[in-house]
Structure formats: structure tokens, C-alpha cells
Amino acid sequence: MEELLTLSGSRLAEMIRNKEISSREVVDLHIDHIKRINPAINAVVRDRFDAARSEAKAADRRVRQDPPETLPPFLGVPCTIKEAFMLTGMPNTSGLVARRNNIARKDATAVARLRQSGAIPLGVTNVPELCMWMETHNKLYGRTNNPYNQRHIVGGSSGGEGAVVGAGGSPFGLGADIGGSIRMPAFFNGVFGHKATGGLVPNTGQYPMARNEALKYLSTGPLVRRAEDLMPLLRLMAGPDGKDPACVDMHIGSIADVHFKGLTVIDVEDNGKTKVSADLKAAQHTAAAYLKSKGAKIKKMKFSALARSFDIWSSMLSASDQESFNVSLGNGKRLRALPEILKWALRVSDHTLPSLVLAMAEDLFQLMPARTKKLVDAGMRLREELVSTIGSNGIMLYPSYSRPAPRHTRPLLTPFDFAYTAILNMMELPVTQVPLGLNAEGLPLGVQVAAVHGNDHVTIAVALELEKAFGGWVPPDIGLLKRT
């Protein structure tokens, strides 16, 4: 039975349809596993285990009564949902204390589509305060710990998702990404994550919500322990819902049409500003060498504009006229950041330090409109350069971060390192985070695989191929987890 905790959602669904195992058995197994690991990692912050068991019983009745070919694709398979998404009856606070009593009365679009496919949510998972930091911690739910080493971070903002999927508690989960919030947690926790082409999947039903151009910078997508789930989950979540104005009908190609012989691989080892650790560089080099052995053409390149990744990301996000972060942090009223930092120092603030620092920094961007416009223009030129260089039959390999998962609070010393993922949001490119084994410390390695707009199937095909070559997700030693 323990082997079921290592299988993909697609394989579990197949076994349930074929009556090799019941949904109730699969759901119970994952619930029991979450109960075992969650005291140590604090990933699931509110569960719906009783409702999930009832839904599993209903799924088993459908399996007994209906022909297998009529059943939805993920019938009876458990999953988890980032707390920033509405899930009926579950909290939807995004870690903001002022929203502690906010309970979702309906499902977000992506959640509804997962449930229509037969998937059974087990609960909601932790996020940083207002989803705006790479350390998943807030004053409502506390801190989430990495299943490979509890002293290390899980990333953000879909950090709880990355941790529970990485620990084997869920075959797949739902996240969202505006600066790496799917890909960083996937990387730090050793699993796969996909940031779709901008506008492919509706973002409806999240809090906080992007506006204007940023609706295409924000991307809803899956985190999975096995790569074969990426494409079916993407297909069922994609397409307009009539509510997200940025989401459009877009053709999704077939993985079967992707051929590695002649594939162009643009290998970019760093952004020219932030150093990348030797183990991550070696892992990326190994991935490139493998693709070359399959017939791909490798081109090692640098893009000078990537050195300004953080400045471009923050300027393009600011120019898209988002709701003031200060106002969001104050739950509708402008927060006075400096007095709140003094309260934080006295340990009486409801907010986390990264959120308060970001609130102070927000005002600085508004004082420099000319600089912002210049950087937005640089971002648009970089987008054109990347698209023309990668081409319709190519991918780009790019580091997922500066190093494997750092220790808790360490990102405060290097706050701009997330620019490795963030810049690709502004490019609106599809990107798949691919695990590449563990380093000498037992922490996950990985690489980002990016392609041009609409070529999500290409990055996912590469993820599947690299999983075959390097093994993909390596389950952590749960026996080493200590209850906190």
C-alpha cells in the first residue's frame, strides 16, 4: 500500500477505474500519511478529511455502477489546494490575520475544474502572508518546513503545496505563480511544477488577485510528484471561464509531436548578476548533455538584460496598476508600515517582516515613474529577444534559484535571488520546473525548462524525458521528520 504514495494521479485513477483499488483506500492512505507528516512540516493548514472520505465512497459507487470509459479522468484521486484559492467551506485568508474568518462559499475556477474531473481535495495548504515572499510563514498558520530537511524553506507562495506533494501526502496540488510561486516550491521540494503560458488558465477565485496586464503574469497551474500528470491537469484547467478577461482560447499541442532530434536547447547558466551554486550548475549541465545525446542542439548563451531581472519584474508589475500592497496588507485600509515594523520588533504585530519591508518599498517605485517606464521597455525587448532566440522548436534551460533550498530566514539576506523565476512571469512564457535528483546534503536539485508562448507541450515533453533519465521526484526519508 505504501507504494501508492509514490504513484501519479493518472496511475491511481486508472487503478480505481479498473477496480484494482478503491478510492476510499487511496484517500485513507493519503490522509493517514498527512497525519503522520504534517506535525513536522505544517503544510496542510485546514483539512476536510471527513468530506473527502464521503466523496471517495461516492466515487467508488460510480465505479461500480458506470462503464469505465464514462468516468471522469481523476475520479477518486486525492489532491490538495493552495489556501489562496477558494475551496467551498475552507478558509481563504492568504495568511492575513484580518481575514481569519473568511470562509469560501464557492470554488475557484481551477478548483471547480479539478473537482469536475473527479479529484477529491483533502484540504488547503500554507502560504506566505498575502503570497508575496519565498518563505512560507504567516501569523495565522505559522511556518512550513521542508520535508527533506526541516531547517530549510519550502519556497513560496505555493510552499505548502510543494511540501505536501514533495512529502508524498498528495499526488498533485494546485498553485499559482507570479514570481516563481509554483516553480520555487516545486524546486525546493523536489517535484514538478508548471507555469503555463500567460492567459492559458483562468486565475478566477484567488486572493489576492492580479489586475490588468498582470493577469497574464500570474499563472495558475499544477505541482505534481510525477510528470505524467502535468499535461492532463493543464488541459482540464485551461480555457476561458468568462470571468478572467485575460484568459483566452489557446491551442495546446501534443507531447507526441515533440522530437528531441534537432531540438534547439538554449543553455543559460546564470543571469550575469546572481551566482549559482556549483551543484545546480552541474545538474543543469548534465541535463543539457543528456538532451544533446538525444539529438538536441545545445547553444550556451547569455542575455545581458537578465542581470536586471528583479528591476524589470518589479517595474512591470508596478506598471500594471495592481491594488496597493499597503492597502491589501491593511485589509482595505492603508497600512502605516513604519509604525507596524516597530510593533513587529516588540512582537505584537500581526504581520511578517518581509511583508512590512515590501510595504515600505512599494512607495519607492511610485516615486520613480521614468525609471519604471525604462525598465518596462527593457522587459519588452528582452521578451522579443528570448522568443526569437528560443524559436518554435526550442527550449531554454535556466536555473531555478541561486542554490538548493536555503535555511529558514536565509532569503532575507539575499532577497532578490527569486529573480531567476520571476523574470519569466513577465515574459509570459510556459515554464516547467524539473527535479534532477538530490545534492550531497540530500536537498533537491532541478532546472527550469522554458519555451515560447503556446509551447507548454514542449516543456512538459522535456520534463517527461528528463524524468526518465534522472528519476524525477525522490521521496524524502519521512522517518527523519521530527514532530514540532
Does 182 share its domain with 245? yes
From 321, 345, 371, the end of a domain falls on 371
Q: What is residue 366's predicted lDDT score, i.e. its pLDDT? A: 66
Burial of 423 (0-12, 13-18, 19+ CB in 10 A): buried
Whole-angstrom distance, CA of residue 97 vs CA of residue 331 = 9
Q: How confident is the model at residue 482 (pLDDT cuts 50, 70, 90)?
A: confident
181 plus 287 within the same structural domain:
yes
Calculate what percentage of the chain has a pLDDT beyond 70.
99
**What are the tens digits of pLDDT across the range 9-39?**
999 999 999 999 999 999 999 999 999 999 9
Residue 362 has pLDDT above 80, yes or no: no
The answer on 387 and 362 residing in a single domain is no
Q: Is the predicted pLDDT of residue 367 greater than 90, yes or no?
A: no
- Which of 327, 350, 371 finishes a domain? 371
Residues 6+ apart with CB under 8 A from 216: 198, 199, 246, 428
- Interval 387-424: pLDDT, tens: 999 999 999 999 999 999 999 999 999 999 999 999 99
259 & 399 share domain? yes
Separation in Å, CA 445 to CA 18, 106, 461: 36, 37, 19
Residue 365: per-residue pLDDT: 64
Q: Give pLDDT, residue 322.
A: 79
Mean pLDDT of 251-268: 98
State pLDDT tens for residues 169-218. Answer: 999 999 999 999 999 999 999 999 999 999 999 999 999 999 999 999 99
Q: Are residues 65 and 136 in the same domain?
A: yes
* Residue 95 clears pLDDT 80, i.e. is over it: yes
Residue 445 domain-assigned (yes or no): yes
Nearest to 221 by CA among 246, 198, 248, 241: 198
Question: Is 352 a domain residue?
Answer: yes
Which of 355, 371, 387 represents a domain boundary (last residue)?
A: 371
pLDDT at 203: 98
Residue 326, pLDDT score? 84
115 close to 174: Cβ distance less than 8 angstroms? no
What pLDDT does 214 receive? 96
Specify if 359 maps to a domain: yes
Q: What percent of the chain has pLDDT over 90?
A: 89
Tell me the three state secondary structure of residue 97. helix
Judgement on whether residues 355 and 431 belong to the same structural domain of the protein: no
- Split at pLDDT 50, 70, 90, the class of 325 is confident
- Look at residue 483 and tell me if it is in a domain: no
Give how many domains the chain has, as a whole number: 2
Grid cell, residue 27, equals: 484517500
Segment 414-459, tens digit of pLDDT = 999 999 999 999 999 999 999 999 999 999 999 999 999 999 999 9
Whether 482 is covered by a domain: the verdict is no
Average pLDDT value over all residues in the chain:
96
Based on the domain organization, do 264 and 346 belong to the same domain?
Answer: no
**151 is a domain residue:** yes
Q: What integer pLDDT is reported at residue 324 of this predicted model?
A: 85
> Residue 271's pLDDT is what?
98
Most confident option among 298-312, 328-342, 470-484: 298-312
Does 224 reside within a domain? yes
* CA 388, 393, 399, 401 torsion-angle sign: positive
Predicted local distance difference test score (pLDDT) of residue 425: 98
**pLDDT tens digits for range 270-307:** 999 999 999 999 999 999 999 999 999 999 999 999 99
**197, 254: one domain:** yes
471 vs 369, residue with greater confidence: 471
119 and 252 co-located in one domain: yes
Whether residue 239 sits in one domain with residue 128: yes
Q: Report d(CA 365, CA 438) in Å as an integer.
A: 39
Same-domain check for residues 252 and 398: yes
Domain span at 322: 312-371
pLDDT at residue 358 tops 70:
yes
Examine the domain organization and report whether 428 and 472 are in the same domain. yes
End-to-end CA distance of the chain: 27
Decide if 433 is inside a domain: yes
What is residue 357's predicted lDDT score, i.e. its pLDDT?
87
Reported as a pLDDT band with limits 50, 70 and 90, residue 484 is low
pLDDT of 52 strictly over 90 = yes
Active site residues: 82, 157, 181
CATH of the domain at 290: 3.90.1300.10
